[in-house]
Amino acid sequence: MAVLTKTYADIRASDIALIDEERSVSWAELNQRVNGLVNGLRQAGLKTGDTVAVVAGNQCEWFEIAQACAHGGWTYVPVNWHWVADELAYVYEDANAVAVLVDQSFEATVLTALKDERGRSVKLIVGIHTASDSAARSDSRFVDYEAVISSGGSDEPTDQMLGGPMFYTSGTTGRPKGVRGALSGGLSITPDFMQLVAAGFSQFLPIPGRTMLCGPFYHSAQWAFSFLPMIGGSAVVMQHKYDSAAMLEMVDRYSCTNVHLVPTQMKRLLDLPDSVKESFSGTSLSTVWHGAAPCPPAVKRGLIDWWGPKITEYYGSTEGSIISTVSSTDWLAKGGSVGKPLETVEVIIVDDAGARVPQGAPGTLYFKNKMGNDFTYHNDEAKTRESHLEPGVFTTGDIGYIDADGFLWLSDRKIDMIISGGVNIYPAEIEGVIAALSEVEDVAVIGVPDEEFGESVKALVQLADGIIASPEISEIIIKHCREFLAGYKRPRSIDFIAHIPRTGTGKIQKQPLRAPFWEGHERRI
């Protein structure tokens, strides 16, 4: 049996392992399907160390694929399903993806991207729920997902090797970069290593329990707070598109023990009608985690008042995982702090010259995992170096300090980033797309206050000589962004200004551009 499912297939064969909006999968069935998928994909040509791209929603198949990759030694790229064809084609090429596994809901965009020269590395297209008349079936590279599983049989795969995720995170310049960590695969590590990682996660969650997944699995935090508990024997209940009332009903119906939320979801929960709130029992829910973006104090306090002191916040990143945590009790006493660093994390705070600062003084935050875990940016040695003070010591780009009680506080952000609805958006990528237009002389992208999402994307555009600001020019910019940027990256508003201020070295001076929009608001990082 597959290493990571064997125990539960033996002792809890008929228990449910996965529940999505269409079906459920028992532990025994999951084990059989994972075995079939590993064997079938090997028969189709995948080799240990290969990279695959996965474009699928929150569905049982995603977890089957992640389990299969964890045993087949394949690195998988969880693709943001909002990405347009140009963004997909870039990832195919950058990751050197050998295969694409795609649900029918997203196949049109995937097929368009595969027509691009950058998709030449893809040798296999695995269709999930593919319609009989789909254009995908006419591609010589196409194989049906269920046919792959059937062809592989249920025998335990031989030579099992660990594979795992490579998440693409946007960068301060240019295109997103893949983050490679110890779990990404490509090394001579057996799958049982992931069991050790999952065991460590038991300090954060009731494991085994029942996880409610209501955020996109392609996000590293949602992956960590669902897939890792599953490795420890937790079932996963999933919702593809977030719906507050439906999520609450599912928590009660399936007796979910834990859930991960972002601030926007928390606000939407509080905005529900009183009748819906009152119908929610929540007695099974023992742990609620939130992160990815700063949460307005009133929202967090409101959820604590409703659900009790079971709300825990974490500070971390795709690159460095969880760095610090703060319980409801500590947050109420230390409002604004992101908590105490984990025992496995050493915090190093330095000034602009790289010298360590005294306790209580702010500086650039660097972190060292005492277990030796580190990361690299795929195909970008320069970016990897820039993010490290020394090997194993990395920064998130934030500025902060540690108080006398050992609590970590964030006070500013060095890197230029917008956080909207818990999603990191880097202006440089958007600026590069807009600047390519001949009508545009210069452009600056900033985050402006948004009541629901925290921040929204605004483009400040300096038009080329002879171009007059008009609704038609705005439409040209918007149309161009639709072609090259996922929806969440596109500007929600466009302002035309006479001049984009830059420093002598050419860097955009964002602070004076932001200031008018944030007047009267507390700037949160």
Gap between the Cα atoms of 218 and 318, Å rounded: 11
- 505's CB contacts (< 8 A; 6+ apart) are none
| Assigned CATH for 25-185 | 3.40.50.980
Give the model's confidence band at 525: pLDDT under 50 very low, under 70 low, under 90 confident, else very high.
very low
Average pLDDT over residues 301-329: 90
Average pLDDT over residues 87-112: 95
Average pLDDT, the chain: 88
Gap between the Cα atoms of 19 and 253, Å rounded: 12
Segment among 143-147, 254-258, 410-414, 482-486 with least mean pLDDT: 410-414
The pLDDT score that the predictor gives to residue 88 is 94
Gap between the Cα atoms of 482 and 484, Å rounded: 6
**Is 3.30.300.30 the CATH classification of the domain at 418-518?**
yes
The pLDDT score that the predictor gives to residue 415 is 62
pLDDT at 522 over 70: no
Q: Is 231 left (phi over 0), alpha (psi -120 to 50) or beta?
A: alpha
DSSP bridge partners of 440: 463
Check whether the bond before 358 is cis (ω within 30° of 0): no
Gap between the Cα atoms of 5 and 30, Å rounded: 8
Sign, CA torsion 271/275/278/281: negative
Percentage of the chain beyond pLDDT 70 is: 95
**Chain centroid to CA 371: how far?**
23
H or E element, residue 289:
strand 287-290
Q: Three-state DSSP class for 235?
A: strand
Average pLDDT over residues 147-155: 94
H-type alpha helices, 364-509: 381-386, 427-435, 471-484
Burial 216-241 (b: 16+ CB within 10 A, else e): bbbbbbbbbbbbbbbbbbbbbbbbbe
Give the model's confidence band at 174: pLDDT under 50 very low, under 70 low, under 90 confident, else very high.
low
Amino acid identity of 83? W
The pLDDT score that the predictor gives to residue 50 is 95
- Closest by CA to 218, choosing from 403, 53, 105, 413, is 53
- Digit-coded pLDDT (tens) for 227-276: 999 999 999 999 999 999 999 999 999 999 999 998 888 889 999 999 99
pLDDT at 503 over 70: no
The contacts found for 171-174 with CB under 8 angstroms, 24 or more apart, are: 171/377, 171/383, 171/426, 171/428, 171/429, 172/397, 172/415, 172/416, 172/417, 172/426, 172/428, 173/428, 174/428, 174/429, 174/432
Q: Three-state DSSP class for 487?
A: helix
The pLDDT score that the predictor gives to residue 412 is 63
Cβ atoms within 10 Å of 271's Cβ, excluding its own: 12
Query: Higher confidence at residue 495 or residue 423?
Result: 495
- 65's CB contacts (< 8 A; 6+ apart) are 37, 54, 56, 76, 101
Structure tokens at 323: 């760095």
DSSP bridge partners of 75: 51
Residue 426 and residue 433 in contact, taking contact as beta carbons nearer than 8 Å = no
The pLDDT score that the predictor gives to residue 501 is 84
Structure tokens at 88: 């997909």
The pLDDT score that the predictor gives to residue 413 is 62
- 92's CB contacts (< 8 A; 6+ apart) are 53, 100, 113, 114, 116, 118, 119, 121, 122
Segment among 29-38, 141-150, 231-240, 292-301 with least mean pLDDT: 292-301
Gap between the Cα atoms of 101 and 69, Å rounded: 12
The pLDDT score that the predictor gives to residue 235 is 96
Domain borders along the chain are 25-185, 418-518
Structure tokens at 103: 């649900």
Q: Three-state DSSP class for 28?
A: helix
Query: Higher confidence at residue 470 or residue 197?
Result: 470
The pLDDT score that the predictor gives to residue 48 is 93
